Chains A and B, each alone.
Chain A
Amino acid sequence: KQEVTQIPAALSVPEGENLVLNCSFTDSAIYNLQWFRQDPGKGLTSLLLIQSSQREQTSGRLNASLDKSSGRSTLYIAASQPGDSATYLCAVFTGANSKLTFGKGITLSVRP
C-alpha cells in the first residue's frame, strides 16, 4: 500500500529565504508525482508534475525533483514571498490502480 509522508507538518520562514519541502513515498512504482498548493478554504492548484522518467521540473521560482529509487521528492522555493504562504501537498500517481495518493501537506508561512 502506497504511503506518502511530508515532514514537517508546518514551517515558518522569513521573507526572501530559499526553502525546501520534502516528500517521501513507500512504493517506488509510480507513474508520476505532483505538487499542489492549497490556500485556506480553497481548492487545489497543481504546481508541478514530474513523470517517473524525469528527474526535475521547474516553473518560475519553483523547482521539483524526483528520486524514484529512494522514494523522495523535494519542492524548492526560491526567494520566498508572503504570497507563497499556503499548504503544499505532494501526491504520487500509481498506475496499477490508477489513483493519486496524497501526503498530509506542509503548511508554509512566510513572514514579511
Chain B
Amino acid sequence: DTAVSQTPKYLVTQMGNDKSIKCEQNLGHDTMYWYKQDSKKFLKIMFSYNNKELIINETVPNRFSPKSPDKAHLNLHINSLELGDSAVYFCASSQDLVEGTQYFGPGTRLLVL
C-alpha cells in the first residue's frame, strides 16, 4: 500500500485556470506538508498542517489555499494559475510536528501554459 499518495501525477493547464491537487496518507500521522520543487530542483516548504490546523505558511501567494478535511488528507487548491507556478509539488507527512521522518508522496508535475 502506498503510504503517501497524490493525484494527479501530471497536470497541464492554461494560465488563469483553477486546479486542485489531492494528497492522502495512510500512516496515521498527525502532520502533513506541501513542498514545491522548482526547475532548479530546489525543494522548499509551502505549508504544514498538524491535526487539520495550519502551522506554517511560508510566504506563499494567497492564490494557494490548502485544505485539510481530516488528518489523513491535505489538498492544495491553486487559483488563477501563472506560468511561474509550473513546478513539482510534493506532499509529505510525519508522525508529529517535533520529530520524526518525513515521508514523501511521488509528486505532482504541474505545467502551466
- Chain B's closest residue to A107 (CB) is B41
Contacts of B97 in A (CB 8 A): 95, 98
Please determine whether B45 and A99 come into contact, CB atoms closer than 8 angstroms.
yes
Measured in the bound complex, the distance between the Cα atoms of B40 and A87 in whole Å is 13
Please determine whether A46 and B102 come into contact, CB atoms closer than 8 angstroms.
yes
Q: Which of B43, B55, B101 contacts A89 (CB 8 A)?
A: B43
- Chain A's closest residue to B90 (CB) is A43
Contacts of A91 in B (CB 8 A): 43
Which one of A43, A45, A102 has the highest number of Cβ atoms from chain B below 10 Å of its Cβ? A43
Interface check B63, CB cutoff 8 A = no
Secondary structure of the A contact surface, majority rule: strand
Across chains A and B, the number of contacting residue pairs, with CB separation under 8 Å, is 54
Please determine whether A102 and B42 come into contact, CB atoms closer than 8 angstroms.
yes
Contacts of A81 in B (CB 8 A): none
Contacts of B101 in A (CB 8 A): 34, 46, 49
Interface check A25, CB cutoff 8 A = no
When each residue 42-57 of chain A gets 1 if its CB lies under 8 Å from chain B and 0 otherwise, what string results? 1111100101000000
Please determine whether B41 and A98 come into contact, CB atoms closer than 8 angstroms.
no
For the complex, count residues of B whose C-beta is within 8 A of A: 25
Q: Which of B42, B58, B90, B100 contacts A99 (CB 8 A)?
A: B58
The distance from the CB of A18 to the nearest CB of chain B, in whole angstroms, is 25
The distance from the CB of A100 to the nearest CB of chain B, in whole angstroms, is 6
- Chain B's closest residue to A42 (CB) is B106
Measured in the bound complex, the distance between the Cα atoms of B45 and A36 in whole Å is 15
With A31-B98, A34-B101, A102-B43 known to touch, is A44 a contact of B55 (CB < 8 Å)?
Answer: no
Q: Find residues 26-48 in chain B having any chain A CB closer than 8 Å to their own CB.
A: 33, 40-45, 48
Q: Which of B98, B102, B104 contacts A95 (CB 8 A)?
A: B98
Nearest 4 pairs between A and B by C-beta? A44-B104, A43-B106, A102-B43, A98-B97
Give A residues with C-beta under 8 Å from B.
31-32, 34, 36, 42-46, 49, 51, 87, 89, 91, 93, 95, 97-102, 104-105
